[in-house]
Amino acid sequence: MPLNRCSKCGKVPADGLKNCSGCHGATGVYCSSQCQKAHWKIHKPMCRPIGPDDVWGIKILDNRHQPWSCQFEHVVLNTSHPIFTRGELCPVTEKCGYPLVIYSDSIHGGIPAQENNQPAVYLRIEAHDGFAPMRWQLNEPGTCYVVRQDRQPLTKEAIEIIYNFHSYLLDIVNPEFAVNGHGPWRQALSPEWLKSFADEYRQDEISREGRLGFDFFP
């Protein structure tokens, strides 16, 4: 699926987007060389051509690889991978307009795992009560995979923000709010809420950690 916005700033320039020559535009298209340069740190690990049936996703390693910042890895998944038929929609991401699909080697693939996967369980929480389904709580999910439902490339930075958004939601869960029909939070889950969280998170990382290269998201 061709990218239709600048991978760095999200703009759609009138004179068209330029493909990154390294990946032929598979994960990088830009409005300007400034944007391309500013995005390189994020883009580099995904800068290679992929086949028409390939999708960039994220592999979430199990908890032996903690902390979570060490658990996310870029991965190319062929559309024959079972995530595309048996994966589960992550409910919070759907409500927030950035639907992700998750697949567990253990829960869906029948590959027994002895290790939990905390980021994966967080991503799987239900939007109405903030709990992951019992099969995610009682079984060890082991290695998991995540892709965007629209099969656009999923970056490590995006999954980092979304994971931290889930973590934040779990911190502020209050069952008393669940009665009003929008889940156990003071306000309804929405793309605006995720976006404001993402903007704040990014600003924090840039000013506190000096990190560069966060791309347009969502």
Regarding 31 and contact with Zn ion (CB under 5 A), the answer is yes
Distance (Å, rounded) from C-alpha 126 to C-alpha 137? Answer: 12
Position 133 contacts Zn ion (CB under 5 A): no
213 binds Zn ion (CB under 5 A): no
Task: Report which secondary-structure segment, H or E, holds 54.
Answer: strand 54-60
Asked if 153 interacts with Zn ion (CB under 5 A), we say no
23 touching Zn ion, by CB under 5 A: yes
- 94, 102 in Cβ contact below 8 A? no
Residue 179 tokens, joined: 């009665």
Q: Which is nearer to Zn ion, 21 or 203 (CB)?
A: 21
Q: Give phi and psi for 101, each to the nearest 5.
A: -115, 135
In whole angstroms, the minimum distance from the beta carbon of 48 to Zn ion comes to 7
Distance from the Cα of residue 213 to its chain's centroid: 16
42 touching Zn ion, by CB under 5 A: no
How near is the Cβ of 198 to Zn ion at its closest, in Å? 17
The conformation of residue 186, written as its DSSP 8-state character, comes to S
Minimum CB distance to Zn ion, residue 101 (Å): 24
Give yes or no for residue 28 binding Zn ion (CB under 5 A): yes
Choice from 35, 42, 125, 127 touching Zn ion (CB under 5 A): 35
Contact status, residue 205 vs residue 211, Cβ threshold 8 Å: yes
What is the contact surface with Zn ion in residues (CB under 5 A)? Answer: 6, 8-9, 20, 22-23, 28, 31, 35, 47
